[in-house]
Structure 1
């Protein structure tokens, strides 16, 4: 019987390729929020409104979600490491094309291309991690992959703002392009001759069988529904944090950035502590404690504390979020062996679709119900989610697992 996660020592050894995967995740994540701090300069250069310039971010996120089922299937058919290398190279080229774009439509097209490429890195990275590490050690290994991604998200926005001050937004994209190409070379070299547990599939019959295997697993409905709810309740709040701080008199964008960064810091704290808390709490305890911690912080944010306390609360929220999200990722990695990249990409698809629906739901709630009821309802949903996942997610060997 496969176990999604059990006790793991802090000093356990992982294959060297895990560090290469973390580097790939870091490189792709850098691109996600990199243009946000320099959008006013983009708008000025192309003589458009900031609102129009901001459509870059929306288009990037939407295409990132929509390509997930296709990317996962392609990875299972043609090889995960091969596809990740291709996507990183494409990300590098797309960023460089954006840096030399002479029209906004050209820049927009380059960011759509970058969203497709970035969408093919992270879920495939999770699938590769699962291929290289046995289930008992997988949650800690996935934590390392998450650390790379979260560090990239954290630095992508902050560093690009500083870099943009000196060499402009085109310089930001040029640096991103160079890093993407370097990461592609590193992945290609790091996985040369690496032994993976699941060889690539090369026919559509195997792909169809993979989808049947995934959706025949009773855990699938809970994994995918749970990450959709997470995306709604947690990441759906982020676009409104600056506005909520504005209502409290904190009108500085940098303050909002610091508060939001607390979530990423909490996520990094999770990656450093998961190997210690997992043996103590177990998988069920991690899901209940994590969802409960998120719910508590949403309740505290409803009270409108000053921004320094909100930073601490967001830090705790990030820690709690990844406690439950990390468990869900491990369960998703065990939905199928032969179609593991497909399973992880569908996991990301539902997660990002939750992030698409979440801001709409929060917007309606804040407009018609007010801040306190909206955040308290979201808190109650998260607490319930942890209890439901702990109750219904079971350790099950994939139907296509080898004896």
Structure 2
């Protein structure tokens, strides 16, 4: 885009977009915020690290299960109103978790946090689409994604620093305050804008949408792929701090920095995808992304110094989004009339993988050990990239009314 083009596009984006990006940022802070401090939580409540990792699993699970209903709820209650409610719930759950007196109470708080966070991101994208015309929408969505990625980046790194100073309770308290501020910002920012509900829930249309989506041969492939990604990649995150602790590195800030490398890799992807895609093609992106992730998991398995692991996480983030971004595009083309439902299902299976991931890693670490468990995940991701490059083919949406699009590879 030329400098002149930028001057045309920027004024057309509504000021409310900054508030939407702030909400995505605040919600994304909670995604990985507890991962660096899990060893401290396990120690305080006298539970194993695998049990403590269940906090990440249950948050991801509740995030996942609300996805199919979010679009319908937004239509019933209004997108802005639903976002305010979800942010308030996330903030309340974080503050309550900060003063929890038992692991069971903290577990319940993370369930509520998952419900709250699960409603923010898809509604943010829906609001953005409502406010911005199609010609400017890709730029606008990029701004919102940038806010979410920045939240993912700071959520891990800042929580490690805060955890060293204020402990894990301080992490949740700070997070809760920030999310409540975001809820107030959305409330004030949209106070003069209509927040009326849309159409009532149409269960018959919802069923037709599901039938349309799953009649596309790419649907089960896309959803299975993101389930595997969530399990093999995201499932390792809750154990990173424990791995480093076993190597003698007890600083939570270091653990947060290592985990944050993944988000840095994601940001690098957004900066380079426009140049990588024409050179590699879709299939090359999937093969290269899977191979890059698999290699980094193998490196981490053998426990190099934390500096090397931080670099590995940057590379793994880059590779992950190379693969995941391609699958996301295929998922967006499963249906034209039920695209929102298809993307909700995409999120559902991805976060379901983040639920099964800590459980699978906990089982593998307990029965096989770190190196075999990590290497199995590495081989799985390597194979996934090659398999998807073979079986995923550009197909028109099942309900398409236009002629098929050319092969993007």
When the two structures are superposed, what TM-score results if normalisation uses the length of structure 2? 0.77
Q: Equivalent residue for 2:394?
A: 394
Contact map agreement 2:226 2:349 (CA 8 A) in 1: yes
Structure 1: runs of 5 or more not aligned: 1-7
Q: Equivalent residue for 2:46?
A: 49
TM-superposed CA distance for 1:289, in Å, is 2.2
Count of aligned positions: 389
Taking the aligned partners of 2:299 and 2:42, their CA distance within structure 1 comes to 37
When the two structures are superposed, what TM-score results if normalisation uses the length of structure 1? 0.78
TM-superposed CA distance for 1:364, in Å, is 4.4
Q: Equivalent residue for 1:25?
A: 24
Taking the aligned partners of 2:120 and 2:312, their CA distance within structure 1 comes to 30
Structure 1 range deviating more: 313-322 or 296-305: 296-305
TM-superposed CA distance for 1:116, in Å, is 0.8
Q: Are 1:83 and 2:82 matched, yes or no? A: yes
In structure 2, do the counterparts of structure 1 residues 184 and 279 end up closer, same or farther at CA, with 3 Å as the change threshold?
Answer: farther
TM-superposed CA distance for 1:356, in Å, is 2.3
Contact map agreement 1:36 1:57 (CA 8 A) in 2: yes
Taking the aligned partners of 2:120 and 2:92, their CA distance within structure 1 comes to 15
Q: Equivalent residue for 2:407?
A: none
Structure 2: runs of 5 or more not aligned: 404-409
In structure 2, do the counterparts of structure 1 residues 61 and 87 end up closer, same or farther at CA, with 3 Å as the change threshold?
Answer: same
Q: Equivalent residue for 1:265?
A: 264
Contact map agreement 1:95 1:177 (CA 8 A) in 2: yes
Taking the aligned partners of 1:135 and 1:347, their CA distance within structure 2 comes to 25
What CA deviation, in whole Å up to 9, does each residue of 1:103-145 have, x standing for no partner?
776655444322211111123334555675759985x765544
Contact map agreement 1:76 1:200 (CA 8 A) in 2: yes
Contact map agreement 1:127 1:340 (CA 8 A) in 2: no
What is the root-mean-square deviation of aligned Cα atoms in Å? 4.0
Taking the aligned partners of 1:9 and 1:326, their CA distance within structure 2 comes to 25
Q: Are 1:275 and 2:274 matched, yes or no? A: yes
Contact map agreement 1:22 1:146 (CA 8 A) in 2: yes
Q: How does 1:208-287 map to 2 (within 5 A)?
A: 208-245=207-244, 249-254=247-252, 255-287=254-286
TM-superposed CA distance for 1:182, in Å, is 3.5
Contact map agreement 1:124 1:344 (CA 8 A) in 2: no
TM-superposed CA distance for 1:228, in Å, is 0.5
Taking the aligned partners of 1:211 and 1:299, their CA distance within structure 2 comes to 38
In structure 2, do the counterparts of structure 1 residues 299 and 359 end up closer, same or farther at CA, with 3 Å as the change threshold?
Answer: same
TM-superposed CA distance for 1:181, in Å, is 3.6
Q: How does 1:300-315 map to 2 (within 5 A)?
A: 300-315=299-314
Taking the aligned partners of 1:114 and 1:177, their CA distance within structure 2 comes to 10
Taking the aligned partners of 1:35 and 1:371, their CA distance within structure 2 comes to 21
Q: Equivalent residue for 1:205?
A: 204
In structure 2, do the counterparts of structure 1 residues 96 and 226 end up closer, same or farther at CA, with 3 Å as the change threshold?
Answer: same
What CA deviation, in whole Å up to 9, does each residue of 1:350-395 have, x standing for no partner?
1122122223433444555555554444333223322333331415
